[in-house]
Structure 1
Amino acid sequence: MAKKELTAEDYKYVDAWYSDQNGRQIPWTRILRSDLIKFQQEEALNYNCFATVQAFANPEKVKGEAYTAPLYFDLDHAENPAVSQADAVKLIKFFTEDLDIREKDIWVYFSGSKGFHILINSQALGIHPRADLHKIFKHIAGYLIHRLELTSMDLVVYSDRRLLRLPNSVHQKTKLYKIELSLDEVRTLSLEEIKEKASTPRREPVFTKDSRLEGLKLRGKSGHFYHDKMQEYLQAAATNRKYDNEEFNFKKGSPPVCVQDILEGGWKKDGDRNQATVQLACYYKDAGHNREDTLKQLEEWVLKHTSAGSDYQKKQRLANTRSVVDAVFSKDNTYKFGCAFIRSLHGPKKPGEKDYERVACAGDMCPCVKKISDEDQAEPEVLHLSKTGDANLSGKLVKTNVMIAGKKHTPYIVPSKIEYHCWGRDSCKKYHCPLYDIPTNTGFKDLGVHDRELIQMTGVGDDNITGILKQLSGIPNCGKYNIERIENTNVDELLVIPMAEEDEEAEAGESNKYVLRRVYAVGGLPVNENKYYELTGYVYPHPKNQESTLLLKSAKPLQDVVESFRLTEDVKEQLAVFQPADYTGEAIEEKLAAICNDLTYNVTHIVERDETLMAMLLTYHSVLRFNVPWDSRPIRGWVETKVVGDTGTGKSAMIEKIMKFCGLGSRVNAESTSRTGLTYKMEQSGASGAWYIVWGAWPLADKELLWIDEDTGIEKDEYGEMTLARSDGKLEVKRAVTAETPCRVRAILSGNVPKGKRLADYAQGVESLKDIFNNEDIRRFDAAIFMRAADVDPALYNQKLPTFPSMISAETMKNNILYAWSRKPDDVIFTDDTIDLLLETSTELSRVYGNANDIPLVSPSDQRNKLARLATSLAALTHSVDESGERIVVHPGHVQFIGAYLKEIYNAPGCGLNYYAKLAIKEEEMTTEKFKKIERDLRRLDVIKKDGKYYEFIKLFAQQRYLRLGDVEAMLSIEKEDAKAIVNQLARMRMVTMTSGGYRKTPRFNSFVAKCFELGLFDMVDDEY
């Protein structure tokens, strides 16, 4: 089911907090925004109460959740609140005059103490919910500090949950109210007059809610401003962290090309002068210049490039420059030179241009950036795959354990080492070009896992790659240089899913989300689908869609749960608990009764369902393959079991508890998946890119166990696409991509009786399988369990269960299963007596059940294989091993028990396969005596008494699969009443059955027609046409 797309109305929750008049702080609580007034007045008593400026869609806090919020500013000046008021006026003027925000789009509040809060409508700015809006807002606030020369802007308030005092609530210190002000009041009233108004609450808003909504829409200039600043932040988030741990090697007289560009060309767009001044001042300080020298250089620079015309404006520029230099050289300076900040000083887009006028950058060829080698990097953070999408991890090294769910079959080839050669040096005056000072006029750039441009170059043409390489070079717009690829590397596109969690993690409540992530492996890392790996790589936003991705530097193969199993002496001693006194049928049955009681009373707590529990244990303990005398190659060993039952019989609960107990296997709910979710689906890389395969739950469970719950959620014909894979253990795809993958899967398929029925609604419960699967898919099951609600006395559900000594721990059960899973084909031994009994029992089962051809749970052609599989599973369950402990030995007692077990479950009232097969024998059996009796009864009908019409009648039904009453009437040229008489007689004789498509012949009728041909009754009938 598709996830609902959230709208603005869905973000209706806020976090609220208050402290009472005794100073007692009340914990944060999440409430509906519509309940804020009630919270403020009835709970907080209108005293020192706060709510987040952000609004959330979740009723409870979720880490990393998206939220919406207006753009907000907190202006606070401890010494002189009038400064805060002056800054508020500057902000208002900027948004309403420089941009196009309207008065109704702005809320202004006096905080009740020393500052002002300004909020600007999110819709007017085009703000959409994100988890990092506070970081974008902080970037905007930092920009406006320099743009508007604000001194009271508080940047501390930009956090993901920021509380602002509620309007008309009392400030605990001043006892003044936080009140809303009109823009005119902020501009014209003195601070004392505002405080006078704040002595009482202000009940009437400046604008009503309806008035604010009237004409509300995205404001063009303001929307562009917000979008540009958001893009600057995103670029900084993607690139600034890349340099967080890097140092700069600045030297006096040798500035980097970006500094040269700004010194020579000035700031590139109005409003960036202060930010450019800050960056230049940081450079001069880091390069060893003192304050006086820095001030002299920057004053000359400002006067050279300023557009100010009057002396007064020039003095303002110089005053601002001095304040910036003072701040940078102060002891508490927090400013630093940064590549991302320099990049954000690009010029505006010009009409007809696709890109900004960018600041010159030498990129990795810059001699001023000290590169950090992989050895110098901090240890990668070990995370679950679902946690690697955190925006704070961008550019950082992480490690995560995954399974490769899909791999694009054709790798990309992208440049990894590039040569840049200038051939126009003699007449060049672009002193800030990174090639200018290189004596050979040639520079080289290496690309690796630190460069997300490797991802950007996948799936694009040569022209795009050339543009990317130009941008990477830092060379200014120039046509006098060549770019040449020196070396290439492979980039593989992978789809990964989290590796299954360890038991300890799940029990500790540390469960993480299932995610499917697209990642990129550099350098042809040796990875294969359906295998586990420890991936190490850098987190980046994808350059094409900003999705979180990883650029991998290594992929270490991990042992799966089977390969990691070790049969130590301690484990051998542990598994002896499963062994019976001997391996006779009686001793095995006695041990299995003890095992079932242990698990029933200590694990599942579902009584009277030993046959179902046994089926689960046999499935769990099946081996992959083993050798038998009647086949030259190892045959399938993994067991597939079907459990069907009435609702409320405990089938799902039992399987779930056993699965949790042993800590092995995975679950898929068929009602929420599809055939593609079980087998595979085709993914295309980009709109016109290559196709690759994402394997589904069935092949991903290779060598392990898969439980498909509510299996009627998938249509029977869709199961048919898995038929060969179930028998061969290999899933083949021959479509846009040809591929195959192993899928040797132990499987338990469970579900209710289809179409809302009960087993009692069928003559025999086993017939329910025909509504779920096609015949060939039924044949692949090794056993089927049918659970009727009436099988268990209702009084037993509510009784207090007796205690039973626990002899099997979860670890012991898991190790016994892993012992079976880790066996090779040569590790299974059948004694001679076992083979004889196996063939004898298979023959007997085939004789009793084998005639149910349309429900082939017992198929004479391969029943010996099914019986061998189940007997081997039972031998593994009872830990029947040779002296070395390495090989499973299947004794006659195992076959004896399985034979009796199959009879018990197939003869059970909920199944009735024995009766169904017996009826099938009688229906299809056509002796000469029975043939004559049927022929005699049919010819009693006057309409077909004569040979000609009789043969015509037989021929008609022999040739047609379905016939309606009108068809019989028309094709035999008889009256309607005569046609009714024929159909009624056939129905009484169980030779036709009514279906939605008409009357269909039963096996008895088919046998009768076959006997007609056998006796040559139609040999003398000529066909005129």
Structure 2
Amino acid sequence: MQSVKEKFDEIAEDLTYNVTKIYGREDILTAADLVFHSVLNFKFMGEYIGKGWTEACIIGDTRSGKSKSIERIVSHYRAGEVIIGEDLSYAGLIGGLQQVNKRWFITWGKVVLNNRRLVVIDEANNLPIETIASMSGIRSRGIAEITKIQQSRAEARTRQIWLGNPRANRFLNTYAHGIVALKELIGKLDDIARFDIGVACAETEVAESVYNNPNPKKVKHKYTSDLCHELVMFAWSRKRDQVKFIEDAEQAVLASAKVLSKRYTNQIPLVNSSEMRIKMARLSVACAVRIFSTDDTGQIVLVTPEHVEFVHEFLVSCYDKPTMSYDIYTKIKQGEINLEKEVEVQAYIVERGLDFLDGFLNYEYLALGDIMDFTEEDRDGAKKIISYLVKKKCLKKYHTQYIKTPAFNGLLRRMKLEHNKGTLKFGKTSTAEKIEF
């Protein structure tokens, strides 16, 4: 009997060689399947999950094959709609007002018109960040509202696959961490958190010999257009009582969510501890649907720990791949939360005195001139202070200035508290302490 992973590998291989003809992009196909086969709602841990449909964000270089792969899957499944060009606006996606013969009418956009179905938002990098932010509530609740001259609301429970290039017009492998390019693409953290899956695809991931293979291997075509279409329609027609978690699958979801929340930082919240169990539940249901895991009637979807395990491993493979580098980014950010050489940094501050501590506590944003002012150092001396604190992960660049890391802020506050209690002495007397009243 095939494992869940073997089944997904078989599906991806079939679709790659017989449908998309884009090689080496199996992760894109699996991510798409976990969106296409998600359900509208279900019950989990005795709670009604009103948003059961999933969303994926696929960021990659131009001509990396992401758009063609998804377009051909949409055509093969005969489900969903690809949105591009003039429809990439708030009015085109959600809706707006039109005046006809001096009367105003509401015209709903593609996301609303595809309620209960699926849309692919291609070239998302052409969408202004503000437009993406304005869609946040709609993506969260599945309800679109227009409150202008005319007022109306409509359901928008729409599965979404977002495709985009890096906004900075750079190749993905020029980023130290591809997850940062995804943040640039989407913008606000809340909007990133709405995605259940993130996938990065750089052009250099697949060798040119693979792209241009004149003799691709022959793979038997089992997953035909008719069969795939029927399964997608099956997924889209499931009701909340037609999904069941069995064999400790719910506990597996909770355990997976806990592990992933520790493994990846929420500073770019593709993974965030408060929502990860729901994301894992959604994706596990979609996984079960994709391989038609049902009871004897063929109507009730059965989610098992094996489905949860597959989704867990798939997310790890996507997030740990070098072009995404979410894991390495997390380790760097964890260094900002916990200073590795806190004792050394504390001694450095104590030696320079209370004014030095207070100066850093009083500034949210720090420029070179600010540090010169409260330390009485010249330009070279202030530069050395900045260099030392950046190396110790106490400061980081923010536009033209510097900001303190969470770990450094915590250390400064603790040192101030200890000084006020009389348990910490400084090497230099502060200016305030020298003044006699």
Asked if Structure 1 and Structure 2 have the same fold, meaning a TM-score greater than 0.5 normalized by the shorter chain, the answer is yes
- Whose relative contact order is higher, 1 or 2, with alpha carbons under 8 Å and at least 6 apart? 2
Q: Which residue of 2 aligns with 1:987?
A: 390
Q: Which residue of 1 aligns with 2:296?
A: 883
For 1:698 and 1:1012, the matched residues in 2 are separated by 53
Within the candidate set 719, 724, 746, 2:137 is matched to 724
Residues 841-860 of structure 1: CA distance to partner in whole angstroms, max 9, x if unpaired?
111111211xx222111111
Distance 1:627 1:968, change over 3 A: same
Within the candidate set 110, 114, 127, 1:697 is matched to 110
**Structure 1 residue 964 displacement after superposition:** 2.1
Residues 595-641 of structure 1: CA distance to partner in whole angstroms, max 9, x if unpaired?
1221111101112221111111111111111111152x333111100
Within the candidate set 209, 222, 244, 1:829 is matched to 244
For 2:197 and 2:420, the matched residues in 1 are separated by 44
1:954 aligns to what SS in structure 2? helix
Residues 868-927 of structure 1: CA distance to partner in whole angstroms, max 9, x if unpaired?
111110111111111111111112211111111111111111111112122222220258
Q: Which residue of 2 aligns with 1:646?
A: 61
Q: Which amino acid aligns with 1:872?
A: V
Distance 1:794 1:860, change over 3 A: same
1:707 aligns to what SS in structure 2? strand
Distance 1:669 1:741, change over 3 A: same
For 1:718 and 1:1017, the matched residues in 2 are separated by 48
- Given that 1:831 and 1:891 are in contact with CA atoms closer than 8 Å, whether structure 2 keeps it comes out as yes
Q: Which amino acid aligns with 1:628?
A: F
Q: For 1:246-257, what aligned pairs fall within 5 Å after superposition? A: none
**Structure 1 residue 649 displacement after superposition:** 1.3
1:676 aligns to what SS in structure 2? helix
For 1:987 and 1:918, the matched residues in 2 are separated by 16
Within the candidate set 148, 155, 165, 1:742 is matched to 155
- Given that 1:669 and 1:710 are in contact with CA atoms closer than 8 Å, whether structure 2 keeps it comes out as yes
1:816 pairs with 2:231: yes
Residues 229-263 of structure 1: CA distance to partner in whole angstroms, max 9, x if unpaired?
xxxxxxxxxxxxxxxxxxxxxxxxxxxxxxxxxxx
1:858 aligns to what SS in structure 2? coil
1:627 aligns to what SS in structure 2? strand
**Structure 1 residue 1016 displacement after superposition:** 3.8
For 1:630 and 1:982, the matched residues in 2 are separated by 55
Residues 809-835 of structure 1: CA distance to partner in whole angstroms, max 9, x if unpaired?
211110100000011111101114211
Q: For 1:451-850, what aligned pairs fall within 5 Å after superposition? A: 581=1, 587-629=3-45, 631=47, 633-669=48-84, 673-685=88-100, 689=103, 691-773=104-186, 774-799=188-213, 800-849=215-264
1:894 pairs with 2:307: yes
Q: For 1:136-155, what aligned pairs fall within 5 Å after superposition? A: none
1:904 pairs with 2:317: yes
For 1:670 and 1:1011, the matched residues in 2 are separated by 54
Residues 642-696 of structure 1: CA distance to partner in whole angstroms, max 9, x if unpaired?
1111222100010011111111111112676222322222334556x5x443222
For 1:937 and 1:671, the matched residues in 2 are separated by 57
- Given that 2:356 and 2:374 are in contact with CA atoms closer than 8 Å, whether structure 1 keeps it comes out as no
1:953 pairs with 2:367: no
For 1:818 and 1:1005, the matched residues in 2 are separated by 53
For 1:808 and 1:1003, the matched residues in 2 are separated by 50
For 1:974 and 1:670, the matched residues in 2 are separated by 55
For 2:319 and 2:373, the matched residues in 1 are separated by 45
- Given that 1:670 and 1:711 are in contact with CA atoms closer than 8 Å, whether structure 2 keeps it comes out as no
**Structure 1 residue 1018 displacement after superposition:** 5.3
- Given that 1:616 and 1:748 are in contact with CA atoms closer than 8 Å, whether structure 2 keeps it comes out as yes
Residues 115-167 of structure 1: CA distance to partner in whole angstroms, max 9, x if unpaired?
xxxxxxxxxxxxxxxxxxxxxxxxxxxxxxxxxxxxxxxxxxxxxxxxxxxxx
2:44 aligns to what SS in structure 1? coil
Residues 304-325 of structure 1: CA distance to partner in whole angstroms, max 9, x if unpaired?
xxxxxxxxxxxxxxxxxxxxxx
Structure whose residues are more often helix by fraction = 2
For 2:127 and 2:262, the matched residues in 1 are separated by 33
For 2:88 and 2:284, the matched residues in 1 are separated by 33
Q: Which residue of 2 aligns with 1:936?
A: 347
Q: Which amino acid aligns with 1:855?
A: I
User: How much identity, in percent, do the aligned residues show?
Assistant: 30
TM-score normalised over the length of structure 2:
0.90
2:3 aligns to what SS in structure 1? helix
Asked which structure has the greater CA Rg, the reply is 1
For 1:686 and 1:971, the matched residues in 2 are separated by 67
Residues 705-751 of structure 1: CA distance to partner in whole angstroms, max 9, x if unpaired?
00000101112232111112112111233344433211111110011
- Given that 2:200 and 2:324 are in contact with CA atoms closer than 8 Å, whether structure 1 keeps it comes out as yes
**Structure 1 residue 864 displacement after superposition:** 0.9
Q: Which amino acid aligns with 2:361?
A: K
Q: Which residue of 2 aligns with 1:218?
A: none
For 1:980 and 1:844, the matched residues in 2 are separated by 41
Distance 1:721 1:1018, change over 3 A: farther
Distance 1:982 1:912, change over 3 A: same
Within the candidate set 1009, 1013, 1019, 2:412 is matched to 1009
Q: How many residues align?
A: 424
Q: Which amino acid aligns with 1:790?
A: T
For 1:837 and 1:863, the matched residues in 2 are separated by 12
Q: Which amino acid aligns with 1:1005?
A: F
Q: Which amino acid aligns with 1:619?
A: V
Q: Which amino acid aligns with 1:622?
A: S
- Given that 1:783 and 1:902 are in contact with CA atoms closer than 8 Å, whether structure 2 keeps it comes out as yes
Q: Which residue of 1 aligns with 2:427?
A: none
Q: For 1:87-486, what aligned pairs fall within 5 Å after superposition? A: none
For 2:101 and 2:384, the matched residues in 1 are separated by 66
Distance 1:916 1:883, change over 3 A: same
For 1:1012 and 1:818, the matched residues in 2 are separated by 61
For 2:155 and 2:413, the matched residues in 1 are separated by 44
Q: Which amino acid aligns with 1:830?
A: F
Distance 1:987 1:703, change over 3 A: same
Q: Which amino acid aligns with 2:27?
A: E
1:917 pairs with 2:327: no
Q: Which amino acid aligns with 1:966?
A: G
TM-score normalised over the length of structure 1:
0.40
Unmatched 5+ stretches in structure 1: 1-580
- Given that 2:87 and 2:93 are in contact with CA atoms closer than 8 Å, whether structure 1 keeps it comes out as no
For 1:605 and 1:657, the matched residues in 2 are separated by 9
Q: Which residue of 2 aligns with 1:996?
A: 399
- Show structure 1 runs of 4+ deviating over 6 A: 1019-1024
Distance 1:834 1:966, change over 3 A: same
Instruction: Name the stretch that deviates more: 814-823 or 593-602.
Output: 593-602
For 2:379 and 2:349, the matched residues in 1 are separated by 17
For 2:262 and 2:44, the matched residues in 1 are separated by 22
Q: Which amino acid aligns with 2:259?
A: E
For 2:161 and 2:59, the matched residues in 1 are separated by 11
